[in-house]
Amino acid sequence: MTAQLGLLALLEAKPDKAGELAAFLASGAKLAADEPRTITWYAFKIDETTYGIFDTFDNEEARQAHLNGPIAAALGEVAPALLTGAPNIRPVELVAIK
What pLDDT does residue 41 have? 96
Q: What is the mean pLDDT of residues 48-61?
A: 97
What pLDDT does residue 52 have? 98
- Tell me how far apart the alpha carbons of residues 9 and 11 are, in angstroms, rounded to a whole number: 6
Structural domains for the chain: 5-93 (3.30.70.100)
Has residue 78 got a pLDDT over 80? yes
Q: Which of 55, 52, 56, 39 is nearest to 88 (CA)?
A: 52
- Element holding 90 (H helix, E strand): strand 88-93
Q: Give the confidence band of 98 by pLDDT, cuts at 50, 70, 90.
A: confident
| Average pLDDT in the chain | 95
Q: What is the mean pLDDT of residues 60-69?
A: 96
Q: What is the mean pLDDT of residues 80-91?
A: 97
Has residue 55 got a pLDDT over 90? yes
What pLDDT does residue 74 have? 94
- Tell me how far apart the alpha carbons of residues 73 and 98 are, in angstroms, rounded to a whole number: 31
Instruction: Give the number of other Cβ atoms within 10 Å of residue 57's Cβ.
Output: 25
Q: For 40-87, where are the E strands, in sequence order? A: 40-45, 50-57
